[in-house]
Amino acid sequence: MNDRSRKILKGVAGGALIVLGVILVPLPGPGIPTIAAGVALLATEFAWAAWLRDRTTALVAKLFGRAPAPV
């Protein structure tokens, strides 16, 4: 599989996880972890998703009083 195909596949899969997570938020299911998994998958290919992942990790670490884990 070439780089372009892999990037498209990861984009579609990450986007699908985010949509599924948004649907699961009001329902009994793991909505937030599913959204986080989608963003983490997208972060492997897209700089904006890596930025979002890093900002969210830093915010959660700050809220819980810990240093963020190195990425």
Q: How confident is the model at residue 68 (pLDDT cuts 50, 70, 90)?
A: low
pLDDT in tens, 23-58: 999 998 899 999 999 999 999 999 999 999 999 988
Which pair of tokens denotes residue 30? Answer: 């793991």
HEC readout, the chain: CCHHHHHHHHHHHHHHHHHHHHHHCCCCCCHHHHHHHHHHHHHCCCHHHHHHHHHHHHHHHHHCCCCCCCC
Which pair of tokens denotes residue 22? Answer: 């948004």
